[in-house]
Structure 1
Amino acid sequence: MRRRHTTATAIVGALALMAALAGCTTDPSVAPSEEAAEPTEEAVDWFDQALFDKQDAERDVVPEGPDGQPWLQYINAEFVDTAQYASAGPKKACFANASISNPWRQTGWITMNEQLKVLQEAGAISEMETRDAQDSDDTQIADIDYFINEGNCDVFVISPNSTAAMTPAVQRACDTGKPVIVFDRGVQTDCPVTFIHPIGGFAWGIDTAEFLIDRLEEGDKVVALRILPGVDVLEQRWAAAEKLFDEAGIEAVDYFTGADPAEIKKIISDELAKGDVAGVWMDAGDGAVAAIEAFEDAGVDYPVMTGEDEMSFLRKWKETGLDGLAPVYSNFQWRTPLLAIQKIFAGEQVPKEWVLPQSPIEAGELDQYLALNENMPDGHYAKFGGEDLPGYPQVWEDRIIP
C-alpha cells in the first residue's frame, strides 16, 4: 500500500526550485514537462507498460560499441545512413542548450567542452556557438530560430528544455537541410538524424525498487523522497518503483521535498517517530546526506538506501557503511553529440535512437569510483566519463565552467 504526503513546505520548495531543477536529468520518452510542471496533485497516470517493458529489457542488453567508451556504445540500435552529409573540413556546431543550472548539467557541460577541444584539434569541428536558455522554453525557441536565421551553422545540437514546446523549433532546424542532433530529452518529431539518451527513468525505477525489495520484507516501510511533482523523468522513476513496491507488499510513503535538506530531515524524523523505517528511496541524489543524517540524529540503524552517483552520496555511503545503491542517468552522454558530428560528416552510419548504457554503481564498485573521483567536488557525478579528456582531472576538480 502506498501513501502520498505533500507538505506545504515541500510545495513552497518545489515552486522555488522549479526553474532551477527543470534542466535536471531527464528521460526522453516522456510527456511534455512544461505541461506537467504545476506542483499540485493531479490525476495523471505516469505509468506506461510498453515503455516500462522496453527499458526493463534494455537493462539486460550488453551494449555494442568500443570497449571502455560507453559514450560511443549503443543498445538495440537501428542505424541511419548519413552519406548525404559527408563533406571534408571542420564544421561549425550550433548548440541550443536548455541550461547549466544544476550540478548534473554543469558536469556534462565541462565534459562536452573538453571533448570539443579534442575534435577541434582533429579538424572535425571549427567552433561551437552555444546559447543557454536558462531553463526557458521561450528563450530556447528564440535561440534555435536565431541559429536558423543566422545561417552559419553546419549542424544543430539541441538539448531541449521541454518536449512539446521545443518540437516545432526542432522541426524548423531540420527543415534547413542541415543535420540535427537531439540529446537528453526528446521531442515529438523523428526528423533529427539521431536522438541520444541513456535508457531512461523506468530503468532507474526498476533498478532501485528491485534493490530495496531484495533486501526488505513484506510490510516493511520505505520512505520515498521526491524532488518535484509533475516532472517527466522523476515521475517515471517513481511510477516504476511504486508498481514494484505495491506488488511486493512494501509500504511506501512518498513526499515531495523541493530538495530542501531541512525538509528532508523533518520528513525522516517524523516517520521515525511513527516507527521503523527500513528503506529510503530517492528519485535523485540531492539531499541524500540530509536523509542519512536524520537517522544518525535519531540514533537508529541506517536504512537500506538508494541515492545517485553524485559524490556527496557516495562519500556518505562509504563513511556509514550502509547498504546502498547509486543509480545513474549517464552524464557521459554530453560527449556523444559531438562525436556524432564527426561521424555524420564522415558519412558514417549512426543510431537513429542512440540508447546509451545506464548501469548503477553497486557496493563492490564504490571504492573504485571514490578513488577515481577522490578530489572532485561533492556536486560532481562519478560516471561522467571524461577521464581520457585533456583537462582531466583539473577542470572538473576546479569546476571550471566554460
Structure 2
Amino acid sequence: MCLRAAPCGVPPQLSAHQRPCTAPGHRAFPFAPPPGDPMPRLFKNLTRNLSVLALAAALTVPAVAADVELLPAGLLTPTTTEQTKPNQFKKAGPWRIGVSFGGVGNTWIVQMIQEMKAAAAQRKEITEFIFVEANWQAAKQVADVEDLLTKKVDAIIIGPISAAIGAPLAEKASKTGIPVVVFGAFGKAMQSTVEIGAGGEVFGRQGGEYLRKELKGKGNVWAFRGVAGVDEETLRYNGFRKALAGSDIKITQEVFGDWGYAKGKQLCENLVLSGQPVDGIWFSGAEMTRACLDVFKESGKPLVPMTGEGNNGFLRAWKSTGVKSIAPQFTPGLGAAVVRASVALLEGKPMYRAYFSSPPAIGQAELDKFFRPDLSDAYWLPSTLPEATLKETFRR
C-alpha cells in the first residue's frame, strides 16, 4: 500500500491513509484511470447529473419557520414548535396591512412605530400601511379594529391594551380568514396566527433580582409602575414582586407614572419631599428612572440603587451619575418584527406560532458597549433602523 500523505485529488471525506497513490505507473483506478479510458467522461456526466439532482432537491425542500428572520440573532426566540402551514395565508400583492395599538405616550412607542413603518416601506408589495392607536381606551380600540376590518386589510397587527380587550378582537379578525399577528405574549388567552412578545414578567424579574442582590435581601423599596390596567404593566410588576418573594424587602410606596418622564418626576418629587426612607427603587420604564435621578440630584438626596432600561437617555444618566443600576432590554425592533411576520405569512411562509424577546439585561460591565454618546436621549436600543437613519433621527 502506498502511504503518501499528499492530496491526491480525491473526495475530501477520505482520510489521508485511504487516499490512493498517483505515483508514476501506479494505477489508482477508479479515481485515476489510464489515458484513453472512457471513465473520465462517465464521471463528468455522473457528476453533472448528480449536481442537477442536488439542485432540484434543494428547490423542492419545503420552507420551515426557521428560515424567516424577524430580528437579529439573540433578540427573538420561538417559544413553541407549533407552526402555521405553508401557503396557508399566501396572497399576491399589493397588500394593505393594518395596525391597532393600545396607545402612545412615550418615546419608546414613538420609535417602535417608526421601526414598523420603516420595515413596511422596505416591501413594495405593501401599498398601504394603516396605523391607529387607541389612547389606552378600550372602546376606541374596539372601534379601530372594526374599522380596519371594514377596510379589508390583508393582515392585521393587534397590540391590545389587555387580553380581555384584545381576545374578542383577535377572534373576530381571525374569522375573516386573514393572518392576525398579536403584539404581546398572551398564549391561549388570544386567538392569533402568530404572537410576538417581550418584557412582561422577565423585565420585572430582572430588575427585582438585581435589587434583591444589591440590598442583600432586606430594605424598603419604591415601585414606579406604568399605565394602570395595561397587561404589560401588570406582568412587569408581577415579575418584580416574584423576584422579591421570600426576602425581607418591603415595597413601601407604589405609584403609577404612566411610563413617562413628566409624571414620573412629579411623583418622585412628592415621595422625596415626604421624607420616607428608601433603599432602592424599581421602575417599570426608564423615562421614570431618568426623572427620579434628576429629582435626587436637584434635592441633594443621596442616590440609591435604581433599575433602568435600554434607553440612551438613561444610559447617559447612569454613566454620569454613577448610580447602581441594571437595564433590561425591550427592543423597539419588535415593531419591525410584527411587520416582517405579517409579510412572511402573506408570502406563504410557515411561521412559529409564538416568539419572545428576552436578551440579557445590560449591566455595569456592558454600559459602554450599548451607550451611544452621539445619539439623543430619545434613542431606544437595540434598534433595527439603519445607522444613517439613527444618526439623522436621533442626532444629539
Q: Fold-level match, TM-score > 0.5? A: yes
Verify: 1:76 aligned to 2:79, yes or no.
yes
Q: Structure 1 pair 94/293, CA: closer, same or farther in 2 (3 Å)? A: closer
Verify: 1:391 aligned to 2:389, yes or no.
yes
CA-atom RMSD, angstroms?
Answer: 3.0
Give me the whole-angstrom Cα distance separating, in 2, the residues matched to 1:390 and 1:167. 39
Q: Structure 1 pair 267/144, CA: closer, same or farther in 2 (3 Å)? A: same
In structure 1, the partner of 2:98 is 94
In structure 1, the partner of 2:171 is 171
Deviation at 1:343, TM superposition (A): 1.5
Given that residues 162 and 230 in structure 2 are in contact (C-alpha distance below 8 angstroms), is that contact kept between their aligned partners in structure 1? Answer: no
Q: Structure 1 pair 305/171, CA: closer, same or farther in 2 (3 Å)? A: same
In structure 2, the partner of 1:42 is none
Q: Structure 1 pair 320/193, CA: closer, same or farther in 2 (3 Å)? A: same
Residue deviations 1:131-163 (CA, integer Å, cap 9, x gap): 333333222222222232333x22122222332
User: How many residue pairs are counted as aligned between the two chains?
Assistant: 325
In structure 2, the partner of 1:19 is none
Verify: 1:337 aligned to 2:338, yes or no.
yes
Moved more, 172-181 or 223-232: 223-232
What residue identity is the alignment partner of 1:149?
T
Q: Structure 1 pair 116/71, CA: closer, same or farther in 2 (3 Å)? A: farther
Secondary structure in 2 aligned to 1:224?
Answer: strand
In structure 2, the partner of 1:375 is 375
Given that residues 86 and 347 in structure 1 are in contact (C-alpha distance below 8 angstroms), is that contact kept between their aligned partners in structure 2? Answer: yes
Unpaired runs of 5+ residues, structure 2, are 1-65, 258-262
Q: Structure 1 pair 103/70, CA: closer, same or farther in 2 (3 Å)? A: farther
Secondary structure in 2 aligned to 1:354?
Answer: strand
Deviation at 1:178, TM superposition (A): 1.6
Q: Structure 1 pair 316/94, CA: closer, same or farther in 2 (3 Å)? A: same
What residue identity is the alignment partner of 1:159?
G
Residue deviations 1:336-380 (CA, integer Å, cap 9, x gap): 121112211232211111222343222222222222x6322x233
Give me the whole-angstrom Cα distance separating, in 2, the residues matched to 1:237 and 1:346. 35
In structure 2, the partner of 1:359 is 360
Deviation at 1:234, TM superposition (A): 2.4
TM-score by length of 2: 0.72
Deviation at 1:318, TM superposition (A): 0.6
Given that residues 201 and 233 in structure 1 are in contact (C-alpha distance below 8 angstroms), is that contact kept between their aligned partners in structure 2? Answer: yes
Give me the whole-angstrom Cα distance separating, in 1, the residues matched to 2:76 and 2:108. 21
In structure 2, the partner of 1:21 is none
What residue identity is the alignment partner of 1:108?
M
In structure 2, the partner of 1:109 is 113
What residue identity is the alignment partner of 2:326?
L
What residue identity is the alignment partner of 2:154?
D
Secondary structure in 2 aligned to 1:304?
Answer: coil
Give me the whole-angstrom Cα distance separating, in 2, the residues matched to 1:84 and 1:228. 37
Given that residues 375 and 394 in structure 2 are in contact (C-alpha distance below 8 angstroms), is that contact kept between their aligned partners in structure 1? Answer: no
Deviation at 1:207, TM superposition (A): 0.6
Deviation at 1:80, TM superposition (A): 2.1
Given that residues 88 and 346 in structure 1 are in contact (C-alpha distance below 8 angstroms), is that contact kept between their aligned partners in structure 2? Answer: yes
Given that residues 310 and 329 in structure 2 are in contact (C-alpha distance below 8 angstroms), is that contact kept between their aligned partners in structure 1? Answer: yes
Q: Structure 1 pair 186/112, CA: closer, same or farther in 2 (3 Å)? A: same
Q: Structure 1 pair 278/233, CA: closer, same or farther in 2 (3 Å)? A: same
Unpaired runs of 5+ residues, structure 1, are 1-62
Give me the whole-angstrom Cα distance separating, in 2, the residues matched to 1:238 and 1:82. 38
Deviation at 1:264, TM superposition (A): 0.4
Structure showing greater relative contact order (alpha-carbon pairs closer than 8 Å, 6 or more residues apart): 1
Given that residues 77 and 355 in structure 1 are in contact (C-alpha distance below 8 angstroms), is that contact kept between their aligned partners in structure 2? Answer: no
In structure 2, the partner of 1:216 is 215
Given that residues 71 and 333 in structure 1 are in contact (C-alpha distance below 8 angstroms), is that contact kept between their aligned partners in structure 2? Answer: no
Matches within 5 A, 1:97-176: 97-120=101-124, 124-151=125-152, 153-176=153-176
Give me the whole-angstrom Cα distance separating, in 2, the residues matched to 1:355 and 1:218. 30
Matches within 5 A, 1:53-72: 69-70=72-73
Given that residues 281 and 305 in structure 1 are in contact (C-alpha distance below 8 angstroms), is that contact kept between their aligned partners in structure 2? Answer: yes
Give me the whole-angstrom Cα distance separating, in 2, the residues matched to 1:352 and 1:149. 26
Give me the whole-angstrom Cα distance separating, in 1, the residues matched to 2:353 and 2:248. 40
In structure 2, the partner of 1:49 is none
Give me the whole-angstrom Cα distance separating, in 2, the residues matched to 1:305 and 1:294. 13
TM-score by length of 1: 0.71
In structure 2, the partner of 1:245 is 244
Given that residues 115 and 389 in structure 1 are in contact (C-alpha distance below 8 angstroms), is that contact kept between their aligned partners in structure 2? Answer: no
Given that residues 101 and 159 in structure 2 are in contact (C-alpha distance below 8 angstroms), is that contact kept between their aligned partners in structure 1? Answer: yes
Secondary structure in 2 aligned to 1:308?
Answer: coil
What residue identity is the alignment partner of 1:241?
F
Give me the whole-angstrom Cα distance separating, in 2, the residues matched to 1:92 and 1:274. 54
Given that residues 161 and 230 in structure 2 are in contact (C-alpha distance below 8 angstroms), is that contact kept between their aligned partners in structure 1? Answer: no
Q: Structure 1 pair 74/90, CA: closer, same or farther in 2 (3 Å)? A: farther
Moved more, 215-224 or 311-320: 215-224
In structure 1, the partner of 2:18 is none
